[in-house]
Amino acid sequence: MLAAVSPDLIAELNGAVRDVSPERDVQILRQVADLFLSKASCLGESQIAVFDSVLVRLIDRADARTLAHLSEILSTVELTPRETTRKLAFHKDALVAAPILRNSNRLSEKDLLEIAKTHSQEHLLAISGRTILNETLTDLLMRLGDVNVSNSLARNTGAKFSECGYATLVGRAERDESLTEKLGLRLDLPANLLRELLAKATDIVRARFLTAPRPVTQGKTQVSGGATSAPRPKVDYTQAQSHVLMLNRTGKLNDSMVNRFAVRDEYINVVAALALLTEVKIEAIAPLIESDRLYGLIVACKAARLSWSTTTMIIRNRPGCPPTTQREFEQSIAVFESLLLSVAQWTIRFGADRITAKKID
C-alpha cells in the first residue's frame, strides 16, 4: 500500500492545472483520472484529497462529454474525491450527474435533497435508482417527480416509503397500469393499500401478477457465487390426479380434505386438487406452490373455493419455502379478501395459459 503520494506527483498535478489550453485540459483531466483509478485501492483520504484539489479545478474547464466520462469512471469507485464527486452530482447536465447520483456513496442526504429540489427530472430519475433510499428522499421525489420517477421508485426494492408516499403511488397507479404492476410486487406495501390497489387494477394486470418475477429485496441472502438454485426434480402427478378425481366423484374433495393434505405435507395431492378444482393444468399450479411469491397461490386457492384457514395452511406448510413474514401474511389476507370468486377464477385460468406458455418457451 502507498504510504503517501510523492512530492513530485503533487507538484506535477498542481502544475497541470495552470495549463490554459482546452485540449490540454481534457488530456490532463483524463490522465489524472486514470492515475487516480490505478491507485484508488491504495489511497487514504489525505491522498485522495490531493487528486480532489486538482480535479475540481479541471472540471470547470472541461466539456460535458469529458465530464460524463469522468462521472461514469468515478461512479464505479467506492472512495472518490469528495468535492469532485459533489461537483459532478450538482452539474446541470444530467448526463454528467446521473452516474454519480445513481451510485456514489460520497453524497450526503443533504446533497441529494438539494439536488432533487433544484435540478431536472432526469436528475430526480437518477436519484430514484440508488440502491438505498430513505423515506425522506422518496417522499420528496414522489412530490416533485414525474411518472418516470414514480415507476422507477416503485420497482426499486431498496426504496423505503412512508404511508403517505405509498398512498401517493397507489393514487397515481389508478391511471398507470405499469405502475400498478410494479406496486403489486412490492413486499413492503401495506395491506390496506394493496387491497385498494387490487380493487382498482384491471383483470389483465391481476393476471400478469401470476407470472411476474418477485423483486429481490435488499439484504436477502443470495445463493453462493451468484448461482441459481438447482431445478426441482420432475414430479409424477399421475397417481395424485387419480386419487383426487376419485375423491371428487364421491363428493369428498372439499375444503377439509385439501386442508388435511397440507397438514400432512402431501403437496402432490394439494397441487392435483387445486388443478382439478380450478380446472387448469397441473403445469400451471405446481409453479405457484414452489414460487416465493404468494399472489398466484392465493388466487388459485380462492378460485378453488377454499377457505382462508385452508389457504393459510397451504401457505405455511409449503415444502422447501422460507417462513412467511408478517408483512407477507398481511398482504396475503388483503389479496384473498379483495378477490371476488369470479375474478379469481378468470385470473387463474387466463394466467395459467401464460404460465404454461412460459414453460414451453
Query: Is the pLDDT confidence value at 15 over 70?
Result: no
321 and 260 in a single domain? The answer is: yes
Residue range(s) defining the domain that contains residue 340 = 238-360
Query: Is the pLDDT confidence value at 338 over 50?
Result: yes
Number of domains in the chain: 3
Res 227: pLDDT: 38
User: What integer is the mean pLDDT of 158-171?
Assistant: 91
| Residue 343, domain member (yes or no) | yes
Q: What are phi and psi of 128, to 5 degrees?
A: -65, -15
30 and 102 in a single domain? The answer is: yes
Query: Is the pLDDT confidence value at 292 over 60?
Result: yes
Tell me which residue of 207, 211, 212, 238 sits closest to 303, measured CA to CA: 207
| Residue 225, domain member (yes or no) | no
| Residue 177, domain member (yes or no) | yes
Q: Quick check: pTM over 0.85?
A: no
Tell me which residue of 42, 39, 41 sits closest to 1, measured CA to CA: 42
Query: Is the pLDDT confidence value at 9 over 70?
Result: no
| Nine-digit cell string for 148 | 418516470
- Residue at which a domain ends, from 52, 71, 106: 106
Res 251: pLDDT: 95
Q: Of the ranges 22-26, 43-47, 309-313, which is most confident?
A: 309-313
Alpha-carbon distance of 267 to 313, in angstroms, equals 11
Q: Of the ranges 26-30, 148-152, 283-287, which is most confident?
A: 148-152
